Structure 1
């Protein structure tokens, strides 16, 4: 079997093994700058529209997504014009998740529903850019305050505030922890479990401790994982990545804590899950038994769900929604169409429709990263410097026209599994008592094939033997729970001319200097067994002389004309 990539790329991927040299560092840095700038642009649109009331009507999620994608595309087309790179593009389309939405929500322009925000919502903006496959992803949660002034009268309080605090502190702590890899002697002794090495076990214990302090749970799908060229998690659950390194949170990580709290679980017999792990490539199965090394790139993606609104013990899980969700049992259930797709390059098929073949040709130009149907339009991107509302609407209508002609081709590509949709997921709370009292008819091997998961994580609750299909059937008795998310990409640069010969953490995206956290107030305080270690790590990032050097990529300067308004 041959590699479906250019030989030059094969040499870098398989021989050089993603070495952080001066060339790759520059591509990472520029990708980070573009991602930072686009995030800043979308945040400014939300501020102007919802907080300051500068637009005739608030921006919808559809408009924010198309404007963000257009900004990404236009900015990326303006870098490395000298031909020193072979490709550059959108690594993750702009998605806007509100409250309980977790991932994948990026509505197209032709969606009939107008999704807007209300004061008190927490909104997560996530996106990514890549240059030659070197990827910078970012996600940031902002709070929608009442309109009128840029500065609200008071902070957001309650369970949503708890999740925002937990996600922010956990992300900053992991960034500092990864930085100690460059100076092992600075690793706090209270978490030094393995000879001055940062392992997956240390990362998990710190994040779980922060979550518990704020009465939150780390949402399944959260991860701290190594990223490599063209391997940034865009096809997880579809393609198994060899030599995977990362901490992944799933429902099974909540199982021990739930069993210890529940009075109904004393007489339960644990299920042996070893059989379900057989048949997998062992290097592709996530495990905490890995060591973080200098010269690697990591994406930190932490999602937190609060438990303050629930009096009973329960499980936080994910529900996949589509246009048919909740039709049978909930009148007001959230319904939406998947709009982000991934090209499965392994699948080959002779297509019948001409529109399908033309669409596939356009998709294959977008590399292996996720895409939206609007990206294949000849009228994409929208001119972000245009200030005439009528001309902007004309561009939008042209894209909508292309969407209609492309949807027929997309249907055949999807039916033949040449492209696969990324699911839209919602966080749900299920009372643990309902799980224990349920009858698992399908047995522990009843996997939900519609829900992509990493190898070895097919069984939701391994000790109880609860399958993903059984857990899915209990979702109709669940309650939606809000989620705060922070994601950042960091490089552990050991030395070299690019870093002036000094070891440093190059933070491509996110960061408190660039994106100040929203004003929130939690009634909980940071505590737990690792409070001292977390405080020491925070102090290391602030000590410029003896601490850890963390350098943030700064966004490009936004032009005044780029504050486009839609009528």
Structure 2
């Protein structure tokens, strides 16, 4: 009788992984700078979305071109460019054939730009929010400003809770506490996930503003050393944080890694195969597929059986504003370390709000550096040693 064998997972080289994550993050940052500069009054959202995806692919083509033993290094889009405006929560990336492709930015619009790149399956994803026309000399005010200020302050607080040994629901709670300062609310049931090679929807999750059932579904987990997370902070200028789907057609899809199903239709198999070749494990915009009509038909069967999942376009109530900041972060021994860059557009002076942080605990939290300096660590250790001697 043969002895069963067990496969040993490959040993991780964190230095190599982090280099690839940061290379992807550099691409994301450069593309984000271009898109932020282009998000002006009169600009079509469709044009920005296409420009973003093309820029990611072009930048990725210039790096990691040396072939390895296993062939060319895969690289490219880890999350297709999405630009969601005002009360659209996320995942708005229209096709040219969609009526929504005519959407044009207007002064005062709250614009969320979300995109991602990967090198060898190590993905850096980022999102930020800007308000069209707002400047330091002419800042945004009102509920739009409240939502943006609440979202970024909550993101900064969340970063400081993302450390080894902390629990995921600590992040949930602090985001809720911070956003309430501006009478805003995290968008209900939005998930942030652990990242690994070719995975941006890992098992460990953080949920914002969970409904009762979702709180039961998302287990309490403890953060561990060398874990990577993509953190989505989505905040609405409303009291309940609820969202709903409308008539906008979904354009972003992703292969569900945990589902296996033999597609019956020839068209479905062809479309699924094309999507796999072009995007692998990562989300893709249907625009990248050769025939849009055929693609929609083929994806229908794949979605129906859970082989592919949709990224639906959700909306909060009419007249509300959603702000979002997404960052990719590594949980290292010395503390959390941002992989992606700080926001391009956001400065406190660009959003004028009547309320500010007064809670001393949150104030103290926000002044803490993400990582303690070596000097601070030595001082802390010395103080502890002196305390023990006494």
TM-score range, shorter chain: 0.7 to 0.9
Does residue 427 of structure 1 match 2:294?
A: no
The answer as to 2:218 corresponding to 1:286 is yes
d(CA) in 1 for partners of 2:143, 2:339 = 30
Contact 2:246 2:315 in 1 (8 A): yes
Counterpart Cα distance in 1 of 2:271 and 2:302: 14
Q: Indicate if the aligned counterparts of 1:493 and 1:506 stay in contact, CA closer than 8 A.
A: yes
Q: Aligned with 2:171: secondary structure?
A: helix
Give the Cα separation in 2 of the matches to 1:361 and 1:292: 36
Aligned residues: 361
Give the aligned partner of residue 326 of structure 2.
487
Which runs of no fewer than 5 residues in structure 2 stay unpaired?
1-5, 378-390
Higher relative contact order (CA 8 A, sep 6+): 1
Cα distance in 2 for residues equivalent to 1:485 and 1:169: 11
Residue 44 of structure 1 is matched in structure 2 by: 37
Q: How far apart are the structure 1 equivalents of 2:169 and 2:114? A: 27
1:66 maps to which residue? 50
5+ residue gaps, structure 1, are 1-9, 51-57, 182-196, 234-240, 254-272, 278-284, 308-313, 323-335, 378-404, 429-478, 495-502, 549-567
Shift of 1:89: 2.0
Indicate the SS of the match to 1:125: strand
Choose which of 230, 237, 254 in structure 2 pairs with 1:342: 254
Q: Secondary structure at the match of 1:123?
A: strand
Give secondary structure in 2 for the equivalent of 1:317. coil
Aligned to 1:352: 266
1:364 is matched with: 276
- CA shift, 1:483, in A, is 0.7
Q: Distance in 2 between matches of 1:82 and 1:105?
A: 35
Q: 2:356 aligns with which of 520, 525, 549?
A: 525
* C-alpha RMSD of matched pairs (Å): 2.9
The TM-score normalised by the length of structure 2 is 0.83
Q: Could you tell me which of 148, 158, 161 is aligned with 1:177? A: 161
Task: Output the CA distance in 2 between the equivalents of 1:506 and 1:20.
Answer: 17
Partner of 1:111: 98
Aligned equivalent of 2:80, options 83, 93, 103? 93
CA 1:207–1:20 in 2, change beyond 3 Å: closer, same or farther? Answer: farther
In the aligned structure 1, how far is the partner of 2:375 from the partner of 2:159?
Answer: 17
- The equivalent of 1:315 in structure 2 is 240
Residues 116 and 28 from structure 1, CA distance in 2 versus in 1: closer, same or farther, beyond 3 angstroms?
same
Partner in structure 1 of residue 386 of structure 2: none
**Is the Cα contact below 8 Å between 1:220 and 1:317 reproduced in 2?**
yes
Measured in 2, the distance between the counterparts of 1:224 and 1:421 equals 16
CA contact (8 A) 1:33 1:508 kept: no
Superposition deviation, residue 545 in structure 1: 6.0
1:535 aligns with 2:364: yes
Of the candidates 406, 410, 414, which is equivalent to residue 296 of structure 2?
410
1:156 and 1:116 map into 2 onto residues whose CA distance is: 19
Distance 1:536 1:369, change over 3 A: closer
* Superposition pairs of residues 58-457 of structure 1, within 5 angstroms: 58-84=42-68, 86-113=73-100, 114-145=102-133, 151=135, 153-179=137-163, 181=164, 197-233=165-201, 244-252=203-211, 285-287=217-219, 289-307=220-238, 315-322=240-247, 336-344=248-256, 346-353=260-267, 357-365=269-277, 366-377=279-290, 405-417=291-303, 419-428=308-317
Query: In 2, Cα distance between the equivalents of 1:152 and 1:198?
Result: 37
Separation in structure 2 between the aligned mates of residue 223 and residue 162 of structure 1, nearest angstrom: 22
Distance 1:364 1:491, change over 3 A: same
Find the counterpart in structure 1 of residue 381 from structure 2. none
- Look up the SS of the partner of 1:481 in the other structure: coil
Name the counterpart of 1:25: 18
The aligned residue for residue 341 of structure 2 is 510
**In 2, are the aligned partners of 1:88 and 1:133 still within 8 Å (CA)?**
yes
TM-score by length of 1: 0.58
Q: Report the CA distance between 1:229 and its aligned residue.
A: 2.1
